[in-house]
C-alpha cells in the first residue's frame, strides 16, 4: 500500500534514502544540491518557487520520491509555456499556481521520478506520476509539468499527459586520448576555427585553470558569483542564485568544477560546471574582460579537455545554442510531459503540440545535415 505525502522542504526527507532512489548520480537531483538551493534563499514564494516535494511511502518507509514545486510563474524552467498561460488566463482561468516536477534553474536532463533501480521501478514511477496528477486535481490547479525527463521515465506518463520535446547540443566521448585526438575527427574547417579560437586566448596574458569546488575560498566564490550575476544583469535578467548558494557549492567538492581565467589572484572570467561519475554539465559563465575566444575556451574547450582527462562519457553544456554544433556538440532530444486539468484546454494544446512536434522533427533533421564530424554525427 503506497501513501503519497507532500513536503514543504526537502530537509523533511532522508538524504541517504533520497539519493539511493536516483537512477544515476546526476548531481542536480542530489539531496545536497536541492537542499542548498532551499537553505540559501534561492527557492522563495516571492520568486515563484515553493517546495512541495513528493514522497511515496510503504509502511512509513520512503520508496520513491520526486522534486516538486508549486510555481507562481514560469521563470527558471526552460520549457516554455508562456503561451499556454496567456491563453488560459484570456479565457478567464488562473494558470498559476501550477505544479512542476523539475530542478530549479537547471535545464539538465536527468532523473525526475526517483524510484530506485530494481524491478519495481517502472511501477513506482507510474505511481509518482499519478500522485502528481491527483494532487493537481485536489488543489484545483491548472496543470502539472515534468521537465527534462530521462528516456526510461517517459512510459510513466500515459493517458492524458501531453508530450513535448526540444533539442540540446551534447558532446560525446569516443575514447579520445586527448583534445588533439578529438580535433582529428572534425571536418578540416571546424578544426582550423577551433585552433584559431584557442590561439587567441593563449596569446592573452590570462592564466586558465580548472579548479574543483573545495579548492576555492570564500573570496573566490564571491568573485565567481559576481561574474555570474553580471552576466544576468547585462541581459536584463534576474540572477536567482544567491552568493550563499555559490559558497555552499564548495561543500560538494569534486562534483563542482570551475574554469577560471586569472590575472594574478583576480578571476577575470569563469565557467562553472557540475559533474557526475559519467558526465560533465556546463552551467554558468561570466567575464569582466573581453578577450576573443574566451567564452568558447572556458565554456566548451576546457570542458571537453576535462571530460577526456576524467574519462567522462559526455559533456552537456546547457540549453540552446546552435553555435555549439561547430564545436563538436551534436543535437540530442530532450523530453517533457504535461497534464492540463481542463479537458477542452488539454485538447486544444494537444492539437498545437502536433504541429510543434513536426516543426521540431524538421529542425532536428536540418541540424543533422550540419554535423561537424568528418564522418557525420557522432
In whole angstroms, give the CA distance from residue 267 to residue 220.
8
pLDDT of residue 116: 97
Q: What is the mean pLDDT of residues 199-210?
A: 96
- Per-residue pLDDT of 294-341, as tens digits, reads 999 999 999 999 999 999 999 999 887 899 999 999 999 999 999 999
DSSP letter assigned to residue 342 = S
Give long-range contacts, CB 8 A cutoff, 24+ apart: 215-218.
216/250, 216/258, 218/247
Q: What is the mean pLDDT of residues 177-202?
A: 97
Domains of the chain as residue ranges with CATH = 3-167+331-368 (3.40.630.30), 174-312 (3.40.630.30)
Work out the percent of the chain whose per-residue pLDDT is above 90.
93
In whole angstroms, give the CA distance from residue 271 to residue 142.
37
Burial label, 281 (beta-carbon count in 10 A; 0-12, 13-18, 19+): buried
pTM score, two decimals? 0.96
For the chain, what is the radius of gyration of the CA atoms?
Answer: 21
Please say if the pLDDT value at position 358 is more than 90.
Answer: yes
Q: What is the mean pLDDT of residues 174-191?
A: 97
pLDDT of residue 376: 63
- Per-residue pLDDT of 118-162, as tens digits, reads 999 999 999 999 999 999 999 999 999 999 999 999 999 998 999
Q: What is the mean pLDDT of residues 277-296?
A: 96
366 preceded by cis ω (within 30°)?
no
Amino acid at each position: 500500500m503506497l501513501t503519497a505525502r507532500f513536503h514543504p522542504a526537502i530537509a523533511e526527507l532522508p538524504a541517504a534514502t533520497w539519493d539511493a532512489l536516483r537512477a544515476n548520480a546526476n548531481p542536480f537531483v542530489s539531496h545536497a544540491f536541492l537542499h542548498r538551493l532551499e537553505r540559501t534563499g534561492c527557492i522563495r514564494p516571492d520568486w515563484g518557487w515553493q517546495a512541495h516535494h513528493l514522497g511515496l511511502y510503504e509502511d512509513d518507509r520512503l520508496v520513491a520520491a520526486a522534486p516538486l514545486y508549486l510555481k507562481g510563474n514560469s521563470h527558471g524552467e526552460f520549457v516554455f509555456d508562456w503561451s499556454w498561460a496567456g491563453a488560459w488566463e484570456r479565457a478567464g482561468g488562473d494558470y498559476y499556481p501550477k505544479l512542476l516536477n523539475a530542478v530549479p534553474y537547471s535545464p539538465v536532463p536527468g532523473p525526475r521520478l526517483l524510484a530506485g533501480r530494481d524491478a519495481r521501478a517502472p511501477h513506482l514511477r507510474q505511481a509518482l506520476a499519478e500522485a502528481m496528477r491527483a494532487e493537481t486535481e485536489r488543489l484545483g490547479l491548472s496543470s502539472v509539468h515534468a521537465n527534462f525527463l530521462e528516456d526510461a521515465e517517459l512510459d510513466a506518463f500515459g493517458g492524458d499527459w501531453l508530450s513535448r520535446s526540444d533539442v540540446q547540443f551534447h558532446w560525446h566521448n569516443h575514447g579520445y586520448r586527448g583534445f588533439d585526438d578529438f580535433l582529428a575527427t572534425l571536418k578540416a574547417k571546424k578544426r582550423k576555427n577551433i585552433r584559431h579560437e584557442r590561439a587567441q586566448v593563449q596569446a592573452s596574458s590570462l592564466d586558465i585553470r580548472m579548479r574543483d569546488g573545495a579548492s576555492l575560498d570564500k573570496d573566490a566564490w564571491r568573485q565567481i558569483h559576481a561574474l555570474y550575476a553580471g552576466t544576468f544583469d547585462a541581459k536584463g535578467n534576474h540572477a536567482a542564485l544567491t552568493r550563499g548558494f555559490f559558497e555552499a557549492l564548495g561543500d560538494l567538492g569534486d562534483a563542482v568544477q570551475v574554469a577560471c581565467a586569472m590575472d594574478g589572484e583576480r578571476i577575470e572570467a569563469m565557467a562553472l560546471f557540475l559533474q557526475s561519475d559519467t558526465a560533465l554539465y556546463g552551467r554558468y559563465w561570466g567575464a569582466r574582460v573581453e578577450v576573443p575566444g574566451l567564452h568558447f575556451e572556458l565554456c566548451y574547450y576546457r570542458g571537453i579537455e576535462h571530460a577526456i582527462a576524467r574519462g567522462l562519457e559526455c559533456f552537456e553544456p546547457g540549453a540552446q545554442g546552435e553555435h555549439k554544433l561547430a564545436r563538436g556538440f551534436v543535437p540530442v532530444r530532450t523530453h517533457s510531459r504535461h497534464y492540463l486539468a481542463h479537458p477542452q484546454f488539454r485538447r486544444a494544446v494537444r492539437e498545437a503540440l502536433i504541429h510543434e512536434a513536426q516543426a521540431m522533427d524538421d529542425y532536428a533533421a536540418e541540424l543533422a545535415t550540419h554535423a561537424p564530424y568528418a564522418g557525420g554525427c557522432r
